[in-house]
Amino acid sequence: MATPPISSRAASLGTENAFVVLAEVNELIAQGRDVISFCIGQPDFPAPVHVQRAGIEAIETGLHGYTPSAGISELRTAAASYMGKMRGLEIEPDDVVVGAGAKPFIAYAIQSTTDYGVGDEVIYPVPGFPIYESQITALGAVPVPLYLRESRNFAFDPDELAAKITDRTRMLILNSPQNPTGGLLSKKDLEAIAAVLREHPQVWIYADEIYSRLVFDGQFQSIAAEPGMLERTIISDGASKTWAMTGWRIGFVANKSLAPLMTKWVTNTDSCASHISQWAAVAAISGPQNDATMMRKTFLARRDLITGLLNNIPGIECQASGGAFYAWPNVTEVCAATGCADSEEFRQRLLHEAGVAVLADIHFGHRVPDDGQHIRFSYATSDENIEKGVARIAEFVQKNSA
Ligand SMILES: Cc1ncc(COP(=O)(O)O)c(C=O)c1O
């Protein structure tokens, strides 16, 4: 018997293709295939031992019931001080809301600033984290892509931003350091963006700064530190990438006027983030930072390793990423040389013929016009995997080039 219909909203929901490709990779591995995966964006380290212990202690001392929806005051206080210090700002604990990862706040922010189906617009980076476009669409707002350009080290042109803002623009999503390109918004970029936004006081900013501790070139810079921007910026950060805590599910946002609303969204969805994980996050923020420092250093060394190796392959051009743990090489020439119609065919052939799993640019929105074809590597994997994986690609390219 046919089931009742689903909503058009649900039908419009996109996905994060890293998870889809990962399922494909896992199936191949289950069939006995040898695949080196560069797909998943999570540190390949355990959470620091003192963080693990804090979680265990929370369980053993009975700290595992519901918490206030905004989070335990110890974590809000620690996160406020941490986020403030990182950005040279004063952030009050009351302005901070804790969630089950940073991801849910993307939807909460869109829902808090746009109405369904009335033409409210949200500007977001392309290529970008696929959840932005998926949630903008599913929540009935209008997605307005803002293109990141290779010629600008994967930042966007502030004039292009200015041209895309209309009376209906409600929010601008920024992400720096960036997934998937590893690009950074420089101080100069942020000043230019702030100058544009001062002309448009109706626009909120969602500053996705989940990779704030993984900056390789210069200091981390936040749009919230630009004059007049703090009040209108939802700063988003979290534990996943900095302390290798992806599965613990702890993220936090800061914004004075939206904090009560964000808290209500949490009450309406998860009730609260995991109580156990919240205590672990207090330990992560307040405890020793050796592991976080070591991970950043390791990612930087791997960035240099993978960038050098990729640039040795004819037809592949890779800029050194400024942050996060992603390489985003231009593969336009190598696609042509190996007879692949595009980056997606190249990705599929790498997976099936070379045993290397990467993501293609189409997994991060439609391709930027006139910017060629790209694939994404997460280099949150060992040196050995990087060397072996890129050698397999080099061999594939050599064998298949005309
Ligand atoms: C740009 C970006 N924002 C947000 C997230 C979500 O992080 P969390 O694990 O805190 O939900 C990710 C994770 O991959 C990301 O790449």
| Same-domain status, 255 and 303 | no
pLDDT the model gives residue 217: 84
> Which sign, positive or negative, has the C-alpha torsion 154, 45, 395, 362?
negative
Residue 313 lies in a domain: yes
Report the nearest-CA residue for atom 4 of ligand 1: 103
pLDDT band at 36 (very low <50, low <70, confident <90, very high): very high
Residue 2 pLDDT more than 90?
A: no
pLDDT the model gives residue 22: 86
| Same-domain status, 349 and 271 | no
3 state DSSP class of 145: strand
Compute the chain's Rg from CA coordinates.
21
Residue 108 lies in a domain: yes
pLDDT digits (tens, 9 = 90+) for 155-205: 999 999 999 999 999 999 999 999 999 999 999 999 999 999 999 999 999
The rounded distance, in Å, linking the Cα atoms of 150 and 318 is 10
- At which of 286, 306, 338 does a domain end? 286
3 state DSSP class of 228: coil
Residue to substitute in 240, 363, 378 for testing ligand 1 pocket (most ligand atoms within 8 angstroms of CB): 240
pLDDT digits (tens, 9 = 90+) for 210-232: 999 999 988 999 999 999 999 99
pLDDT the model gives residue 154: 93
Q: What's the mean per-residue pLDDT of the chain?
A: 96
| Tally of structural domains, the chain | 2
| Same-domain status, 61 and 201 | yes
Residue 354 pLDDT more than 80?
A: yes
At residue 240's C-alpha, the angle toward residues 238 and 244, to 5°, is 135
pLDDT the model gives residue 332: 98
DSSP-derived secondary structure for 164-205 = H--TTEEEEEEESS-TTT-----HHHHHHHHHHHHT-TT-EE
Residue 380: which CATH number? 3.90.1150.10
| Same-domain status, 165 and 244 | yes
Cα(146) to centroid(ligand 1), Å: 19
Residue 1 pLDDT more than 80?
A: no
The rounded distance, in Å, linking the Cα atoms of 77 and 93 is 5
Residue 305 lies in a domain: yes
pLDDT digits (tens, 9 = 90+) for 39-57: 988 999 999 999 999 999 9
pLDDT the model gives residue 198: 97
In this prediction, residues 342-363 reach a mean pLDDT of 96
pLDDT digits (tens, 9 = 90+) for 273-320: 999 999 999 999 999 999 999 999 999 999 999 999 999 999 999 999
The rounded distance, in Å, linking the Cα atoms of 133 and 144 is 9
Residue 212 lies in a domain: yes
Residue 3 lies in a domain: no
Residue 2 lies in a domain: no
Residue 15 pLDDT more than 90?
A: no
DSSP-derived secondary structure for 241-302 = TTTT-GGG--EEEE-TTTHHHHHHHHHHTTSSS-HHHHHHHHHHHHS--HHHHHHHHHHHHH
| DSSP for residue 68 | -
Closest ligand 1 atom to residue 18 Cα is 14
Cα(105) to centroid(ligand 1), Å: 10
Distances (CA, A) of 64 to 59, 68, 276, 280, 305: 6, 12, 6, 12, 43
* Spacing of C-alpha 300 from chain mean position: 18
Closest ligand 1 atom to residue 251 Cα is 10
| Same-domain status, 186 and 54 | yes
> Which sign, positive or negative, has the C-alpha torsion 339, 344, 347, 352?
negative
Half-sphere exposure of 226 (CA within 13 A, CB side): 23
In this prediction, residues 140-146 reach a mean pLDDT of 97
The rounded distance, in Å, linking the Cα atoms of 144 and 165 is 9
Closest ligand 1 atom to residue 238 Cα is 10
pLDDT the model gives residue 12: 85
| Same-domain status, 243 and 229 | yes
Residue 17 pLDDT more than 90?
A: no
Cα(384) to centroid(ligand 1), Å: 26
Residue 110 pLDDT more than 90?
A: yes
The rounded distance, in Å, linking the Cα atoms of 81 and 9 is 38
| Residues belonging to the chain | 402
| Same-domain status, 65 and 143 | yes
| Same-domain status, 183 and 303 | no
Nearest-CA neighbor of 280 among 95, 140, 103, 72? 72
Residue 360 lies in a domain: yes
Residue 18 pLDDT more than 80?
A: no
| Same-domain status, 36 and 60 | no
| Same-domain status, 232 and 347 | no
Residue 170: which CATH number? 3.40.640.10
| Same-domain status, 313 and 266 | no
Residue to substitute in 22, 241, 266 for testing ligand 1 pocket (most ligand atoms within 8 angstroms of CB): 241
| Same-domain status, 306 and 219 | no
| Ligand 1 pocket list (CB less than 6 A) | 41, 101-103, 129, 175, 179, 208, 210, 238, 240, 246, 251
pLDDT the model gives residue 254: 98
Range of the domain at 375: 8-46+291-400
- At which of 233, 256, 286 does a domain end? 286
- At which of 256, 286, 316 does a domain end? 286
Residue 1 lies in a domain: no
Torsion of CA 220, 225, 226, 228, to 10 degrees: 160
